Amino acid sequence: MNEKKDIYILAIESSCDETAAAVVKNGREVLSNVISSQIDLHTLYGGVVPEIASRKHVENIDGVIKKALDDAEMKLEEMDAIGVTYGPGLVGALLVGLAEAKALAYAADKPLIGVHHIEGHICANYIQNKDFEPPYMALVVSGGHSHLVYVSDYGKYEILGRTRDDAAGEAYDKVARAIGMGYPGGPKIDAAAKLGNPDAVKFPRVFLEEDSYDFSFSGLKSAVLNHVNKQKMMGEPIVPEDIAASFQQSVVEVLVGKTIKAAKANGVKKIALAGGVASNSTLRGKMQEACEKEGFTLSIPSPILCTDNAAMIGCAAYYEYMAGVRDGLDLNANPSLRLGDR
């Protein structure tokens, strides 16, 4: 009887401001996961500066890949394929990782597999929970995306809802800036909210039409800005912790409510969180409560797997590899790539 051959993927992620590389075995076992973050640099500017991000990727990417291989105690020649994020993201940043992956694939004569960044975030759940598998409902929430996705099988995605304006993480950043907390807004609002009263300010919950799974956070963001300006004009005190807690409660109620509703409507009893905002403590807690009430299983990646990393890209690349997907050296970056498109 033939033993099943182990598959090793060298994965590269550079879609925004993290330069990352990882070695992943059989899709779910992470042998190394190296991340070089630029967050301190971009904090100086109040957000990610695309040109700076691209330049730092160029500086860091060789060292990050070498460390990933060293940490895994493996060589490039031992890899079965090279997986790389090719969209969506910042086009300059994407091109750095993609060019590196192409060069390695060509030099070592290895297959190249392009990976959708959001698919990577969803696949982080397979690393965190070794027995987790489709079908399930995935809530993907990050600085650039807010998606409700029905995952029917590995690599099979149906987007049921998406944001019509600001992504959840984008709203966090803008509100944090408005109440003087700075960048990055997500973790700062999460921390401040623990000290505030979530019922102090009655901000709107935007559920849109009865049958819609879409999201809209620009109105909520505007409500926060209007509240802050009104307090200033009236000479009333502004309590950032109360605003943070009230804002966060509004966001989380909508995210949890729509996810549970979508899961029920599609007959699935498993839910997965994905994306940077999935590391938010209130979202994790409220989703857990809702799932326990409904008898659903909830998968949440650890915080290191919620933020941008290459291990999740390696996991997604593995399932594409097993499905026979191979990309040519003419693969180009696609900053607005839709989930499910190739």
Answer whether residue 339 is part of any domain.
Answer: no
Helical segments of the chain, H only: 39-43, 50-72, 91-108, 117-128, 168-178, 185-193, 218-234, 240-265, 281-294, 303-306, 311-322
pLDDT of residue 210: 87
Answer whether residue 152 is part of any domain.
Answer: yes
pLDDT of residue 184: 87
Does 110 lie in the same domain as 71?
A: yes
Answer whether residue 148 is part of any domain.
Answer: yes
Residue numbers of the domain that contains 165: 134-302
Provide the pLDDT confidence category of residue 341 given band limits of 50, 70 and 90.
confident
DSSP string, 54-69: HHHHHHHHHHHHHHHH
Answer whether residue 328 is part of any domain.
Answer: no
Does 77 lie in the same domain as 225?
A: no
How confident is the model over 6-23, as pLDDT tens digits?
999 999 999 999 999 999
CATH number at 51 reads: 3.30.420.40
How many domains does the structure of the chain reveal? 2
Does 142 lie in the same domain as 49?
A: no
10 Å Cβ neighbour count for 323? Answer: 12
How confident is the model over 215-268, as pLDDT tens digits?
999 999 999 999 999 999 999 999 999 999 999 999 999 999 999 999 999 999
Answer whether residue 340 is part of any domain.
Answer: no
Residue 277 is given by DSSP the state G
Does 235 lie in the same domain as 150?
A: yes
Lowest mean pLDDT among 120-129, 180-189, 287-296, 304-313: 180-189
pLDDT of residue 2: 53
Which tokens hold the place of 145? Answer: 């995306």
Answer whether residue 128 is part of any domain.
Answer: no
Does 276 lie in the same domain as 184?
A: yes
Percent of the chain with pLDDT over 70: 99
173 vs 279: CA distance, rounded Å: 15
283 pLDDT more than 50? yes
Within 8 A by CB and 6+ apart from 233, the residues are none
Answer whether residue 3 is part of any domain.
Answer: no
Answer whether residue 38 is part of any domain.
Answer: yes
Pairing, β 136-141 against β 156-162: unpaired
Residue 227, CB-side half-sphere exposure with 13 Å CA sphere: 23
Does 265 lie in the same domain as 141?
A: yes
Query: Mean pLDDT of all residues in the chain?
Result: 95
How confident is the model over 182-194, as pLDDT tens digits?
888 999 999 999 9
56 pLDDT more than 50? yes
Does 233 lie in the same domain as 258?
A: yes
Does 198 lie in the same domain as 213?
A: yes
* Closest to 95 in 3D by CA, of 114, 69, 120, 118: 114
pLDDT of residue 43: 85
Count of residues in the chain? 342
Average pLDDT over residues 155-184: 92
Q: For 295, phi and psi rounded to 5 degrees?
A: 75, 25
CB-based contact 168:181 (threshold 8 Å): no
* Closest to 8 in 3D by CA, of 307, 309, 274, 322: 322
261 vs 251: CA distance, rounded Å: 16
Does 254 lie in the same domain as 158?
A: yes
CB-based contact 197:242 (threshold 8 Å): yes
Does 255 lie in the same domain as 139?
A: yes
Residue 121, CB-side half-sphere exposure with 13 Å CA sphere: 31
Does 105 lie in the same domain as 26?
A: yes
1 pLDDT more than 60? no
198 or 341: which carries more pLDDT confidence? 198
Does 109 lie in the same domain as 71?
A: yes
